[in-house]
Structure 1
Amino acid sequence: MKAMTATGRTSPAVGLATVDQPRPRPDEVLVKVEAYSVNRGETFQLEAPRPDWRPGKDIAGLVVQAAADGSGPAVGRRVVGHPPAGGWAEYVAVPTDSLAELPDEVSCLTAAALPLAGLTALRLLRVAGAVAGRRILITGASGGVGHYFVELAAAAGAEITAVSGSAERGSRLLELGAARVVHAVADADGLFDVVLESTGGPNLPVALAKLAPRGTLVWFGQASREPVTLNFFDFFTGPESATIRHFHYADADVTYGEDLSTLVRLVAAGRLHPEVGVVAEWTETAEVLDRLRGRGIRGNAVLTVA
């Protein structure tokens, strides 16, 4: 079969190659991929790829081989999945607890934009707790995670300030329910009960200063790729007794499949709207990755497999 493999170079970061078709384990199904999405974090992994690794964690397609242990969807079912790797390919093996079936009203193109960004946003919302009436600041809100989180949290009653460097992207966040959009963390009108920080570098201490006493800062990314320096005594000038919590979306008490089913149900009901900024054929993956690395895409980028 054909699959995208890492070149070990910055550009093009991937190229089409012929590889062996995967042999599913007993608890895995084989999916014929119809669409996949790419994430900015994957561009970092492609800079120093492992020899045995192939990229791809967000896919949607058709089950062509059911799981031998009897779990999961039957042959012919349309699904969205979050495999450990290897999804940028014609076929991928996916654990049955990392899949959700798709109803007729949700296309594979839309569904492919859900897994990583949607799972992260949904699980961030759980970490934030009961958000009705609470003030939340989210940085780096222009990407897929920010779009999903704003819509989910606004629907749950949160008052959200989103940080977006782009006026165009900021207008979309307002449409999704953000109370206000600012173009720099320093411009946010604090204090906030919860701060969700994804950029790191000099932005994190600025975001921390916007936190109310005994509030919580959830550190879920470091898109700037710059280290963070914090001063213990800065806590006494505002966020006294605050909590800083590390977040990794994979650390959860429910399976990917359960949360994907929730996301699919919300999309089907018109309560969640994936933001697909780019749709292209999968032969254009390298070019799309370049745009993603340069922050040239709003929301998610989806590639279709012929």
Structure 2
Amino acid sequence: MKVNEQLTDFERVELTKKAYDQLQLGQSVDVSKHHIGTVCRSVHAVDGLRAYVISNPHEVTLLFKGSYGFKKGTPQTWRDEWLKTNLPILRAMLSHERRVPSQLKTASKLLDETIHQFYGTQIYIYGHSLGSINAQFALANCHHPEAIGAAYLYEGTNIWLLFTPKERRCVAKMREKIFNYVDIYDPVTLGITETHHMVGQLRYVDSEPMKPIKQHMWGGYSFNPDGSLKLRKVDQAFLAESRSEHKLLSRSGDVTEFIEKISSGDEIKKMAVQKAEKLVKKYPDHKSLARLAALFKEEMLRNED
């Protein structure tokens, strides 16, 4: 059995977290007692994509890195990951326009290059936050779906709305091999659904609300003694959140204007927070918008401390 198939849910989360480490070429990557492989490619693309290709004689693991926090990131990571990628994706979903940031296209190219380099070898994909978004787009444009062993996606916006019919058909072929983990209290997991209109199979995390950043960084995840993740069946809380997000994504107007206001300047950040707070008051039924506003406020204004 391949090592990726032996991992517990807890170990898969720990492996995904390694995408945030500064892994070096030739570095050995281990999780618990499992040897995942050796870093054979470290990607830092011009558009900000960060990823690692890890190989062993039997399989290949591809880690897509997520976004740095607003404070932890540098001006370049803010620009590449948020202004050029995350926020344009959200804006495209709100305005129902297909705008694909460069980073997603680079992720797709990386997956195909990896498949060709290791032709005949199974590829296992992991991604959190922006890493999940990049992985979703790469999978939807994968020319060799038979090469995908499995994909584990955590806390990423559901970008199904941005896909073409061809991309939707492509990713649907791999649905049984893709596991999409969603904490409904995470402000980044917009577009959640219990239907097939998402990448992969829904894994609904059994969590409780907490501070937005902690929530987003797996803070709501809890595990059983055997390492399996505690999950819930789709319930009324999930369905209510899904309906709320559907309303949010079906309305552009003020929300799109809010997204367009955000930039790297401190004054603009403050204005964006004020705008978000006004939107929350205007649309009190949108729990997702309230959490997104809380996320922006906590991170953008933290620099003043």
Structure with more contact order per residue of length (Cα contacts < 8 Å, sep ≥ 6):
1
Greater C-alpha radius of gyration: 1
Structure with greater helix share of residues? 2
Structure with greater strand share of residues? 1
TM over 0.5: no
Q: TM-score range by the shorter chain?
A: under 0.3
* TM-score between the two structures when normalised by the length of structure 1: 0.26
